[in-house]
Amino acid sequence: MSTRAVLETFDSGLSQSRDYENKKDDAATKVRDYFMAKKGADASDTEMLHHFIQKFFSKTSIDTSNLASYTKNYREEAFYELISLALFSRFKQNTDDANTYFAKANQIATYSKSQFMINYHNFAIVLDAEPLKKKLKLERCYELVNQTLANDKELGEELIGNGLALAIEIGDEKRRLDFLSKSQYVLYELESLQHVAMSLGYYLLANTTGYDALTAWTKFHNANISLDFKNYQIARDEFEQALDWALDTAFPYAVMTLYERLALASMRLNKPSLAEKFYQESRAYAKSPEIQPELVVKNEIRCLIGLGNLRFRKAESQSGDEKENSCSTADQHFRQALHLTSQVSYVANKKVSLNNLSELYKLWRGPNDIDAQNYLALANQ
């Protein structure tokens, strides 16, 4: 039986039992085997070297003299960046630079009182020769996965297999968890294996103590799956827990995204006023200059669709001028969302916007309305 068939059978069993937590170790093993079976060729020494030369070509020094002035998120990012700098410096045989970077990383880990960081520092500082080269290839692989998954699923899955194999071979626990997290995203978003993804989420939550960022993103993925399973209160609770981390670390992209998800969960729980408040909070955080413009546009599309749906729901119970006003407002939101989908590659929400406009015009002008039919035809093209 192929690893894909094993995973599908496991997913089917989980869909019946819903025994996600007790099967979490089995999920992690089967997911690992599935992706490692897709493993491709590792990056060459030349590819790895060019990547790090480019990455650190104009790198400025990371100041650790006043750690209290930095956000928790910045300290964590600086820590992992310093480890990468230290490892690449050691690879280039710049021992003094490597020691300086390792010392600064250790300073951040100690200040943060993070056992997870301390363990990672202790793992990295003893790497040398062949394991060091494999670690640098692993880092290159991780960045390639982030750049690849959205546009090339097959290559992205190969890279996850490569990453898991390298991480297990050299004993890199952080990157093993990171690649399993990427696996959870793929299983849910791209492979329609939601039940395996949920069980893997429980495995990650049980093994990421002290790795707050990965814990938060795992809760985010689990909550999205819970929305699909119509467990709306569970989804909202997990989104709120992830939001607490995002606010504490001052991570605007995560805050923006989690407010939008909270809005959707609140709408599903029939709390329209709260949902509208969360949508507006998400749009407010989207103004941060730190967030990539494309991600802001995609979030705005989701918020506009959500706000349009809130007005649509209100119109269903109204008549006369009230219904007219609600339908008109929903129309504006859906049209704005549709217009924005032309600015980014967002096929799924273009179809959602067109379907929503079709349903809105049926409610507004009657089931035989020509515009409603035209929007539906466009959605099905």
pLDDT tens-digit readout, 78-96 = 999 999 999 999 999 999 9
Domains in the chain, number: 1
pLDDT at 57: 62
In a domain, 97, yes or no: yes
Tell whether 202 is covered by a domain: yes
For residue 13, tell me if it sits in a domain: yes
pLDDT of residue 203: 98
Among the listed residues 146, 184, 144, the one whose alpha carbon sits nearest the alpha carbon of residue 32: 184
| pLDDT for res 60 | 62
Which of left, alpha, beta for 230 (phi over 0: left; psi -120 to 50: alpha)? left
- Read off the pLDDT of residues 61-74 as tens digits, 9 standing for 90 and up: 788 999 999 888 88
* Helix (H) or strand (E) run with residue 242 in it: helix 232-248
So what's the pLDDT on residue 59? Answer: 60
Residue 58: per-residue pLDDT: 61
pLDDT confidence of residue 73: 83
Residue 121's contacts (CB-CB under 8 Å, 6 or more residues apart) are 83, 102, 105, 106, 109
In a domain, 228, yes or no: no
Q: State residue 311's pLDDT score.
A: 98
Domain that holds residue 69: 1-212
Return d(Cα 32, Cα 369) in angstroms, integer: 52
Each residue's pLDDT, cut to its tens digit, for the chain (381 residues) gives: 788 999 999 999 999 999 999 999 999 999 999 999 999 888 888 888 888 887 776 666 788 999 999 888 889 989 999 999 999 999 999 999 999 999 999 999 999 999 999 999 999 999 999 999 999 999 999 989 988 887 889 999 999 999 999 999 999 999 999 999 999 999 999 999 999 999 999 999 999 998 999 999 999 999 999 999 999 999 999 999 999 999 998 899 999 999 999 999 999 999 999 999 999 999 999 999 999 999 999 999 999 999 999 999 999 999 999 999 999 999 999 999 999 998 887 788 999 999 999 999 999 999 999 999 999 999 998
Tell whether 177 is covered by a domain.
yes
Token pair recorded at residue 188: 């849910």
Instruction: Report DSSP letters for 163-224, one per residue.
Output: HHHHHHHHT-HHHHHHHHHHHHHHHHHTS--HHHHHHHHHHHHHH-TT-HHHHHHHHHHHHH
The pTM of the full predicted model, rounded to 2 decimals, is 0.90
The pLDDT of residue 249 is 87
Whether 307 is covered by a domain: the verdict is no
* CA gap 102, 108 in Å, rounded: 10
Domain contains 119 = yes
pLDDT in tens, 216-252: 999 999 999 999 999 999 999 999 999 999 999 889 9
Q: What is the per-residue pLDDT across 318-347, written as a single tens digit (0 to 9) for each?
A: 999 999 999 999 999 999 999 999 888 778
Q: Would 26 be classed as within a structural domain?
A: yes
